[in-house]
Amino acid sequence: MRRSDKEQIIGYLLILPAVLLVLIFLVYPFLNSFYMSFHKWPVFGDAKFVGFKNYIKVWKDDQFWNSLYFTFLYTITVTPMLFALAIPIALLCNIKAKGSTLFRSVYFFPVVLSFAVSAYVWMWLYNESNGVFMYGLRYFSIVSDDYNIWLERNSSLLAVNIQITWKFFGISMIILLAGLQSISDDYYEASKLMGASRMQTIWNVTLPLIKTSIVLCLILSIAGSMQVYEPFLIMTQGSPANSTKTLVMHIVDVGLDYYKLGPSAAMGTTLMIILLIITSLQLSILRKDNK
Amino acid sequence: MKRFSSDWYWYYVINYTLVILIIFPIYWTFISSVKTPAELITSDPTYFPETWTWKYYFQIWNYDLSSTWQLSSDDYMRLETKSLKESIINFFIPNEKKSIGRAFWNSCFVSFGTILLTTIVCTFAGYALAILRGPFKNIIFLLIITPILFPGVSLLIPLYKILKDIGLLNNLYGLIFLHSTFMLPLGVFMMRNAFISIPSSLREVAILEGTSELQIILRVLLPLCIPGLLTVMVFAMYVSWNDYIFAYVFVTTGEREVLNVALAKIALGGNEFDMKWGSITAGSVISFIPIIIFYTFLQQYFVRGVTGSAVKE
């Protein structure tokens, strides 16, 4: 046996564990969710092919549309909030000064904390009688004494959005910052020579130059928000009256609590298609930028 | 841009304000966990604890988190402070089977397993992709890298079925496999890049000297891939320690629960008010500590891993 042949065999052996894991836990479930969505899954007995029946069932399900609507609502409200914090802080971090790296690492810090545990922390801050956040709101007379933030859909949504913004603006901030740092100083020099004010420079020079980073953050935020689950599962549990139930929450409930695997898989596939469209959009933008 | 000294004044004022705002929830969590029950529920919150107490930590570390999880102030009063030696023994061997202490060690086990498995699998696969030739190499690479596009949450139902079929449901090893797999696409990609960036002449010299393939990886090449390796390890820890969905859906037996899920029992449970929030903040601090330690020392790898996973380079 030639040495290079032996090398190739060793290569295939070394890559085998990775291939197996990916096949078993990613590719197979991916294909299986398509398969399941076209079958009826009785508690006993074999699966039966039913065509698009599961999808039709899902389309007639009011809660599916409510959840999808709420997930969209969450996505279009949380994204501007993330940007409102991420862009100014990225600009701030781009200034080279003493302590700027320390500030940056503090801003990124909430990102590394767990979704679930940061949700518990914020539940305590939002607690109606002793939460310090509510105390602050009462102090400035924004809310009445016995105000409970979880009793209405919109206030619950806002509460979760604030928590998510706190937790996640760091990722957008770092991506935008990478974009900012790639801008050559020449642009700023030119802008200064033309007598532009600082706001004009930011608006007309800086932001257009990091357009790709902004679009990338936008798509990331949209794709991530569409999959939202833990914050609402922990903080609202879908209440009041299922009005804050997200799509993923509904998928899990239908699949595992009611054991309707077919419709659940059909919803999962729908979500996956939506997300694949968003992600492929992201990749095509990146590819265009690299050219 | 010319800046005046008043600009620098504002630079620091804004930055310090933001730092305070962002750190405040974490600071508040910590001081809530060391306040006494009475101080915790006063209508005028204190911004620094008047009396410090670590009783919540001792209590949730040992308390039975079975389905009827009820903690009362009486339990709290009965709790005695232990000697240092007892406390240390107790830290490693929590009293009850379904306590936060137990859940903490479960989480450690899963995170450590994930780091180990991910590191081994990604290193081998990355190395293989660097030495393999021919058309299969690209097909395999695509096979591993494409699933980065699959959203994990939409695979929950089929994953549940698979785990059930292969008997890994309700099993910590099942979680290790899942966390590692979801981390693989990015990890393999990073390790492949790390190995490719090393000049191939280094490997050829080692081969001529008669070094075995495994020794080449471990002794010659891996030391040059430390940054990539650390990114993969830190990101594996991040994924595994912070996972909630998989643990919540796939591991439902009390004594195998991981920390994040066990804490939900307190957060959403119906125990007495003052005990609940003291316990949950103490539990949150326990969950934050490993991440804070890792973040302090390996911050750049965290940033690279977490944003890398988001950007999908």
Extents of the domains making up chain A: 61-290
CB contact under 8 A, B177 and A28: no
A240 prior amide bond cis, ω within 30: yes
Looking at every residue in chain B, the average pLDDT score rounds to 82
Collapsed DSSP state (helix, strand, coil) of residue A39 = strand
Q: Does A259 touch chain B (CB under 8 A)?
A: no
CB contact under 8 A, B157 and A121: no
pLDDT band at B275 (very low <50, low <70, confident <90, very high): low
CA distance B86 to B95: 11
Q: Does B17 touch chain A (CB under 8 A)?
A: no
- Asked if residues A33 and B157 have their Cβ atoms less than 8 Å apart, the reply is yes
CA distance B159 to B170: 13
Which chain A residues touch B173 with a CB distance below 8 Å?
none
pLDDT at B273 over 70: no
Collapsed DSSP state (helix, strand, coil) of residue A48 = strand
Place of tokens 């862009």: A87
- Residues of chain B with pLDDT > 90, as a percent, come to 19
CA distance B291 to B272: 29
- From chain A residues 21-80, the ones with a CB under 8 A of any chain B CB are 21-30, 32-33, 36
- Distance of residue B197 Cα from the nearest chain A Cα, in angstroms: 18
pLDDT at B313 over 50: no
- Asked if residues A270 and A156 have their Cβ atoms less than 8 Å apart, the reply is no
pLDDT tens sequence for chain A (291 residues):
566 778 888 888 999 999 999 999 999 988 888 888 888 877 666 778 888 888 888 888 888 999 999 999 999 999 999 999 999 999 998 888 888 888 988 999 998 898 888 998 998 888 887 888 888 888 887 877 778 888 888 889 999 999 999 998 998 998 899 888 888 888 888 888 888 888 888 888 888 888 888 888 888 888 888 888 888 988 888 878 888 899 988 988 888 777 788 888 888 888 888 888 887 887 787 777 665
Partner residue opposite B303 with nearest CB, options A14, A108, A224: A108
- From chain B residues 185-204, the ones with a CB under 8 A of any chain A CB are 185, 188
Interface test with B, best of A87, A121, A205, A284 (most B CBs within 10 A): A121
Q: Does A183 touch chain B (CB under 8 A)?
A: no
Which chain A residues touch B18 with a CB distance below 8 Å?
89, 92, 103, 107
Q: What is the pLDDT of residues B17-71, one digit of tens each?
A: 999 999 999 999 999 888 887 787 777 777 888 888 887 887 778 776 654 445 5
- Asked if residues B264 and B194 have their Cβ atoms less than 8 Å apart, the reply is no
pLDDT the model gives residue B112 = 95
Q: Does B41 touch chain A (CB under 8 A)?
A: yes
* Residue among B282, B261, B279, B260 nearest B270 (CA): B279
* Residue among A125, A187, A185 nearest A160 (CA): A125
Read off the amino acid at residue A70.
F
CA distance B71 to B60: 9
Which chain A residues touch B302 with a CB distance below 8 Å?
108, 112
pLDDT the model gives residue B4 = 57
pLDDT the model gives residue B110 = 94
- Cα dihedral A79, A84, A87, A93 in deg (nearest 10): -120
CB contact under 8 A, A114 and B32: no
Measured between CA atoms, the residue of chain B closest to residue A264 is B157
Q: Does A10 touch chain B (CB under 8 A)?
A: yes
Both tokens of residue B31? 């001081």
CA distance A167 to A169: 6
Which chain A residues touch B181 with a CB distance below 8 Å?
21-22, 24-26
pLDDT the model gives residue A86 = 92
- Distance of residue A15 Cα from the nearest chain B Cα, in angstroms: 4
pTM (whole model) above 0.90: no
Q: What is the pLDDT of residues B198-250, one digit of tens each?
A: 888 888 888 888 888 788 888 888 888 888 899 899 989 988 998 888 998 88
ipTM, two decimals, is 0.85
pLDDT at B1 over 50: no
CA distance B17 to B6: 16
Partner residue opposite A271 with nearest CB, options B151, B248, B260: B151
CB contact under 8 A, A14 and B29: no
| Mean pLDDT in residue range B96-112 | 85
Give all strands (DSSP E) within chain A, no chain letters: 39-40, 48-49
Give the CATH number of domain B100-311; options: 1.10.3720.10, 1.10.10.10, 3.40.720.10, 3.40.80.10: 1.10.3720.10
Q: Does A106 touch chain B (CB under 8 A)?
A: yes
CA distance A72 to B182: 26
pLDDT the model gives residue B67 = 46
Q: Which residues on neighbouring strands pair with residue A48, listed in sequence order?
A: A40
Instruction: Return the HEC string of A130-190.
Output: CCHHHHHHHHCCCCCCCCCHHHCHHHHHHHHHHHHHHHHHHHHHHHHHHHHHCCCHHHHHH
Both tokens of residue B9? 């004044």
CA distance B311 to B92: 39
- Distance of residue B32 Cα from the nearest chain A Cα, in angstroms: 9
Q: Does B15 touch chain A (CB under 8 A)?
A: yes
Q: Could you state, in order of their start, the residue ranges of all structural domains in chain B? A: 100-311
Interface test with B, best of A23, A37, A98, A117 (most B CBs within 10 A): A117
Residue A39 dihedral angles phi and psi, to the nearest 5°: -125, 155
Partner residue opposite B14 with nearest CB, options A32, A92, A108: A92
Both tokens of residue B71? 């903690």
Read off the amino acid at residue A201.
T
Other Cβ atoms closer than 10 A to B74: 10
CB contact under 8 A, B264 and A234: yes
- Asked if residues A167 and A118 have their Cβ atoms less than 8 Å apart, the reply is yes
Spell B203-229 as b/e; 16+ CB within 10 A means b. beebeeeeeebeebbeebbbeebeebb
- Residues of chain B with pLDDT > 70, as a percent, come to 86
Other Cβ atoms closer than 10 A to B24: 15
Chains A, B: CB pairs < 8 Å:
261
Q: What's the Cα-to-Cα distance from A1 to each of A7, A8, B137, B212, rounded to whole Å?
A: 10, 11, 21, 16
B84 exposure class (CB count in 10 Å sphere: 0-12, 13-18, 19+): exposed
CB contact under 8 A, A120 and B280: yes
pLDDT the model gives residue A74 = 94
* Distance, C-alpha B102 to centroid of its chain: 16
Give the CATH number of domain A61-290; options: 3.40.50.1100, 3.20.20.370, 1.10.286.10, 1.10.3720.10: 1.10.3720.10
Q: Does A111 touch chain B (CB under 8 A)?
A: yes
Which chain A residues touch B182 with a CB distance below 8 Å?
25-26
Q: What's the Cα-to-Cα distance from B83 to each of A278, B77, B88, rounded to whole Å?
A: 57, 17, 9
CB contact under 8 A, B150 and A26: yes
Show Cβ contacts of residue A162 under 8 Å, excluding neighbours closer than 6 positions: A81, A122
- From chain B residues 276-295, the ones with a CB under 8 A of any chain A CB are 277, 280-281, 283-284, 287-288, 291, 295
CA distance A73 to A158: 11
Measured between CA atoms, the residue of chain B closest to residue A265 is B157
pLDDT at B2 over 60: no
Q: Which residues on neighbouring strands pair with residue A39, listed in sequence order?
A: A49
- Distance of residue A125 Cα from the nearest chain B Cα, in angstroms: 7
Which chain B residues touch A97 with a CB distance below 8 Å?
8, 11
